[in-house]
Amino acid sequence: MKKYRLFRSLLALALAAGLTLPTALAAQSAPPEATPAVVTPKAPVESQLLSDMHIEAAAAILVDADTGTVLFDQNAHEQRYPASITKVMTAMLAIEAVDRGELSLNDVITVGSEVNREVGDGSSTQNIKEGEQIRLEDVLYCALTASANEACNVLAQAVSGSVDDFVALMNQRAGELGMEDTHFANTHGYHNEEHYTTAYDIALMCREAMQHETFRTIVTAKSYTVPATNLHEARELHDTNALVSTWRITGYYYEYATGIKTGSTPEAGQCLAASASKDGRNLISVVLGAENIAQSDGTTLRQSFSESKRLLQWGFSSFSTKTLLDSTYFGGTIPVTLSRDANYVGAQASGEIEAILPNDLDPADFQVTPEFNAESLEAPVDKGQIVGKVTVSNGDTVYGSLDLVAVDSVARSELLYRLDQVKRFFDQLWVKMLLVVVLVLAAVLLLRWLLFGRRRRYGSRRRGGYSGGRYSRRRRR
Residues belonging to the active site: 84, 87, 147
- Phi first, then psi: what are they for 352, rounded to 5°? -155, 140
| DSSP letters spanning 86-100 | GHHHHHHHHHHHHHT
| DSSP letters spanning 128-181 | --TT-EEEHHHHHHHHHTS--HHHHHHHHHHHHSSHHHHHHHHHHHHHHTT-TT
Q: Residue 261, annotated ligand binder? A: yes
Residues found in the chain: 477
Cβ-contact 308, 289 below 8 angstroms? no
Secondary structure (3-state) at 61: strand
Q: How far apart are alpha carbons 146 and 238 in whole angstroms?
A: 6
Q: Are strands 59-64 and 70-74 parallel, antiparallel or unpaired?
A: antiparallel
- Phi first, then psi: what are they for 146, rounded to 5°? -95, -5
Q: How far apart are alpha carbons 201 and 269 in whole angstroms?
A: 18
The residues, ordered by sequence, that sit 6+ positions from 288 with a Cβ below 8 Å of its Cβ are: 57, 58, 59, 60, 80, 82, 199, 202, 268, 269, 271
Q: How far apart are alpha carbons 275 and 258 in whole angstroms?
A: 5
Q: Name the residue type at position 436.
A: V
| Percent helix, percent strand, percent coil in the chain, to nearest 5 | 40, 25, 35
- Indicate the annotated binding residues for substrate: 261
